[in-house]
Structure 1
């Protein structure tokens, strides 16, 4: 399976359980790994035969900078669903969301969530 990776996309959002997170917001980084058969794109050199990286960014941005979520898990799930809705060539996606300096007791560089979903997970 072929992979397209878009790494370290940065967004400012208001996600979290604590009121200060919802009020002040913070920076988040997101990595996405999109898997599918992109062989035709390699042969034709046509964007229509692949997934547009710029559109991947825009789909992610709309969610990360939109409605506030309590959990990173919910953000990741929403991004996954939106990617499958947006890109018919997408077969599997892995999303990693990183939240630097979380407001929880202790010393942390960051906390994060990684999810992997397949198109079949959304088709009944």
Structure 2
């Protein structure tokens, strides 16, 4: 069986947001920066042949859905933030067959000098 996460994709990287997601009271009160990387599996062949926006999914539209999903509800876990983004994209864009989303938290409340904490979800649309 072929890997489900292959083929054409729309990619959005380093989307920066300020949010109040987290378990610690400081995170909830002060907030922090988050970064989202996203790959959406979409057949882009017709868009490539026709040069017509109606034959693709607008990355601006994807961004709007990601922003709304990120800002819509405060979550304890970045895993839940990512799942909220996946669910919203699948609801908004029937053409998206799979999603890889990474949520990065560069100021995670751990004693690190450099780096970031992150999670990555791989999800396929259920038939």
TM-score using structure 1 length: 0.92
User: Which residue in 1 is equivalent to 2:82?
Assistant: 76
Measured in 2, the distance between the counterparts of 1:109 and 1:66 equals 27
1:101 equivalent in alignment to 2:117: no
The Cα shift of 1:25 comes to 0.3
Is the Cα–Cα contact under 8 Å of residues 40 and 99 in structure 2 kept in the other structure? yes
Q: Which among 64, 67, 77 is matched to residue 58 of structure 1?
A: 64
**Number of residue-to-residue matches in the alignment:** 121
Aligned to 1:65, the other structure's residue is in SS state helix
User: Which residue in 2 is equivalent to 1:46?
Assistant: 52
User: Which residue in 2 is equivalent to 1:12?
Assistant: 18
TM-score using structure 2 length: 0.89
Q: What 5-or-longer segments of structure 1 have no aligned partner?
A: none
The Cα shift of 1:106 comes to 4.3
Q: What 5-or-longer segments of structure 2 have no aligned partner?
A: 1-6
Q: Which among 74, 83, 91 is matched to residue 97 of structure 2?
A: 91
CA RMSD of aligned residues (A): 1.2
Q: Which among 17, 37, 56 is matched to residue 43 of structure 2?
A: 37
Displaced runs of 4+ in structure 1, greater than 3 A? Answer: 105-108
